[in-house]
Structure formats: C-alpha cells, structure tokens
Chains A and B, each alone.
Chain A
Amino acid sequence: DAGVTQSPTHLIKTRGQQVTLRCSPKSGHDTVSWYQQALGQGPQFIFQYYEEEERQRGNFPDRFSGHQFPNYSSELNVNALLLGDSALYLCASSPGRDRYQPQHFGDGTRLSIL
C-alpha cells in the first residue's frame, strides 16, 4: 500500500522563476493538503483540495496556486519565486468524508531559491 508520494525530492531555482511540485495521495484518500515548513518551524497550511476544488486556504499570497486531478493527485505551483520561499514543502492526504481522520505526510520536496 503506497503512502503519499511527492516529486521531486529536491529542487533548486532562482528568484523570479516558477516551480511545480507534485503529490500522489495515499490509496483510498481523496483530500490533499499542502504545507510549507521553514527551517526550525512547524508546517504552515497553504491550501487543501477536495473533489478537484480548493476547499480551504491559509494565509499565503496568490503566487501560490494548486490543482487537483480526477485521480486525486495534486500540484502546487509557485510563481515569481522569492528567497523566502525556500522551505520544505509537504503534501498530506486524508479521506475527505471523515473530517476527523489524521493527515498522512509525504517525504516532502526541499525547495532552495538562489
């Protein structure tokens, strides 16, 4: 039973570029959430997708956008990259119908902005 998978593992970009991160949820999960974790901090909620729509959004600018596909996989896009966007980006999945189930995390994508 595959868990949450994310790609790529590492990514290096320069300021002003755009990046796309990908996530496949755990089997049986239909809800995908994205988090940003800066060094030494806890993860911060970016947004959540369910039934191919953004269901909730955290306090992140419009440069951060996402998409969910019919197979429940998801993408996180970040435009006009800033140095402060350097972080570990985590994808978490959960079953959408049971809103109290915990979220399970993938291994993350470490994004470095030069």
Chain B
Amino acid sequence: QKEVEQNSGPLSVPEGAIASLNCTYSDRVSQSFFWYRQYSGKSPELIMSIYSNGDKEDGRFTAQLNKASQYVSLLIRDSQPSDSATYLCAVNPIQGAQKLVFGQGTRLTINP
C-alpha cells in the first residue's frame, strides 16, 4: 500500500463546475496535510494546508480533512481553465518533522 494515494486521472470538469480531488493516506499519526498545484514543466505551488478535522476555505478552494477515515480532499468551486494542472496531495507523516510524502498527483482539466 502506498503511503499517499491519489487517483491519477485525468479528471475532466466543465468550466464553472465544482472539481473534487481526493487523497488517502496510510500513516495514522500524520499531522499536516497540504495540496500543491503543479503546472506542466513547473514546480509545485502551495494552495492549501490543513491540520485539523473539518473544512478549511480559501477563496474558491476548500480543503477537507477526516483523520478517522485518513482522507483529505480538495474542492475547487467555479472551476476556471487556468485551474487545469496536476494537483499533488502531500502529507507530513512524522510528528514534529517536516518530511513530505506526496501522492502521484491528479491531472485536472477544466473544459471551457
């Protein structure tokens, strides 16, 4: 079992709709969870961080964390073509440390 799993996609969503990206992780003691966006040929860019159960909203983005189910998700409302990218879920699996374990990423395409 991989430490962090994501559906590699591609995920196609019409412009203006909600895109839903999911991630599961295996280490129960994980403390910090991050979503990064990566455009083709570019480096990962931090979108959201979440540390406690529940929802965290930032503009059109909402991160959701359920530690009991070991599940993290990212919702993108009013999807725009500029949101087309690969979205990487990253987990800090060791308490007090900063090593990040990434999923393989989900490729998202927003269709105009």
Residues of A within 8 A of B (CB): 31, 33, 35, 40-45, 48, 55-56, 58, 88, 90, 92, 94, 96, 99-108
Contacts and interface: CB of A to CB of B under 8 A. Distances in A.
Interface in B23-82: 31-32, 34, 36, 42-46, 49, 51
Contacts of A105: 36, 43-45
B99 A43 contact: no
Contacts of A107: 42-43
Contact of A56 (B4, B36, B97): B97
Nearest to A58: B99
Contacts of A48: 98-99
B46 A33 contact: no
Nearest to A96: B98
B11 interface: no
Interface of B: 4, 31-32, 34, 36, 42-46, 49, 51, 88, 90, 92, 94, 96-105
Contacts of B102: 35, 42-44
A96 B98 CA distance: 8
Contacts of A56: 94, 97-99
B98 A103 contact: yes
Nearest to A92: B100
A40 B99 contact: no
Contacts of B100: 33, 35, 43, 45, 92, 103
Given A90-B44, A102-B49, A105-B43, A42 B99 contact: no
B90 to A, nearest CB: 8
B8 to A, nearest CB: 8
Nearest to B92: A100
Contacts of B32: 100, 102
19 contacts: A35-B100, A41-B104, A41-B105, A42-B4, A42-B102, A42-B104, A43-B100, A48-B99, A56-B97, A90-B43, A90-B44, A99-B98, A100-B31, A100-B92, A101-B98, A102-B32, A102-B34, A102-B49, A107-B43
